Amino acid sequence: MRFRLGLTGSIGMGKSTTAAMFVDRGCVLWDADAAVHRLYTAGGAAVGPIQALFPAAISDASVDRAALRQIISETPNAITQIEAIVHPLVQADRAAFVADMPEAIGVFDIPLLFESGADREMDAVACVTVAPDIQRKRVLARSTMSAEQFNLILARQMPVADKIARSDYVIETETLEAARQQVQSVLRDIERQLSNA
C-alpha cells in the first residue's frame, strides 16, 4: 500500500533536514525544490516560457535563480506570471513520481503545499516548525539570502500557525534529536494506520 505524506513548513524551518530523516527510515522522497531545479536547468521545460517573459532571467540556457529573484523583487506580478508557468510543470513532475511510486510511504517536500492546493493529493500532512528567531538566524546564515528577500518570501507564504492548524502532524526542529524522535513517532502512527487499513 502507498501512503502520501505532505511535508511543509516555512523557509528555514528545517524541512530538508527532516525530509532526509524520513528517507533514512525507508521512505521515498519527492522534493518540490529539486523538481523546480530540473525544470530550470538547460533543456528544462520552464526555461523557454520564462525566457519569453523575462529574457534577463536566462544564463547559459538555464534559469538564473538569483536573476529571477531580482526580477521578482522589482517587477509587479512577476511572481504570479512565473508561478503560472512553473506550478503546472511541478504538478506534472509530481504526478509522474506518484505513478511510479513503489509500495511505500512517500514523503512530498512541498514548501507551498497548502498555497498550491497540493494538500488535497496527500493522505496526511506534517508541518515542520521552529521558533521565529531560530528561523531568521538559520535563513540569514545562508549567504544567498538577504533580510529583504527573506521578508518577501515570508510575506508570500501562509503563516506557519495556519499551516500547523491544517496539518495532521507537527515536527519541531529546534534540535536534530528532537526532530528525529518526532519523525519516528509520525512513521509509527502511519504504519499503524496502514496495518489497520
The better pLDDT of the pair 156, 180 is held by 180
Q: Is 60 left (phi over 0), alpha (psi -120 to 50) or beta?
A: left
Which residue shows C-alpha cell 511505500?
Answer: 104
CATH number for the domain harbouring residue 182: 3.40.50.300
Tally the residues of the chain. Answer: 197
Does residue 136 register a pLDDT over 90?
no
Helices within the chain (DSSP H only): 15-24, 32-40, 47-53, 65-74, 78-100, 113-116, 132-141, 147-156, 160-166, 176-196
Distance of CA 88 to the CA centre of its chain: 15
Distance of CA 13 to the CA centre of its chain: 11
The count of structural domains within the chain is 1
Q: Which domain holds residue 80?
A: 3-196
Counting other chains too, the contacts that 180-188 makes at CB distance below 8 Å and 24 or more residues apart are: 180/21, 183/18, 183/21, 183/22, 183/25, 184/25, 186/5, 186/126, 187/22, 187/25, 187/27, 187/105
Tell me the pTM.
0.88
Pairing label, strands 58-59, 62-63: antiparallel
pLDDT score, position 56? 94
Q: Lowest-confidence range among 8-17, 27-36, 163-172?
A: 8-17
- List, for residues 142-168, the tens digit of each pLDDT value: 767 788 878 877 877 888 899 999 999
Q: Is 136 helix (H, G, I), strand (E, B) or coil?
A: helix
- List, for residues 57-100, the tens digit of each pLDDT value: 999 999 999 899 889 888 889 989 999 999 999 999 999 999 99
Rounded mean pLDDT of the chain? 92
Q: Report residue 37's pLDDT band, with 50, 70 and 90 as the boundaries.
A: very high
pLDDT score, position 6? 98
Does residue 197 register a pLDDT over 80?
no
Does residue 191 register a pLDDT over 90?
yes
